[in-house]
Structure 1
């Protein structure tokens, strides 16, 4: 019986972790570095995937550009 409990618990965790967040938005922001007291944009990006529109809105307020993932 203990073995079945462990198997069911592991299955529940696996299903819960994959269905709770679909990673609906991909947000990117150019990396800026300071050289000789001047900000210089690089060709690289910070990138973050978020699940909710609230998280997306927060990142966009911080300068990220977000797009829907399909």
Structure 2
């Protein structure tokens, strides 16, 4: 959750390469919870990580990002 007026950056990296980046800028709600979805093809042994801020964060509740994943295919 972030507070009104917050600027929050959320990104995704696979094997050290940035593949997605988004920003919540000057949010107008008193508090907001954000969610997103990403479907990518990964090779066996690849690693995915997400930083939850780049520069300024007005407030991220407990300073964590929840991430889950699913195996779609063995191909």
TM-score normalised to the size of structure 2? 0.30
**Highest relative contact order (Cα 8 Å, sep 6+), 1 or 2?**
2
TM-score by length of 1: 0.31
More helix by share: 1
| Higher strand proportion (structure 1 or 2) | 1
Larger radius of gyration: 1
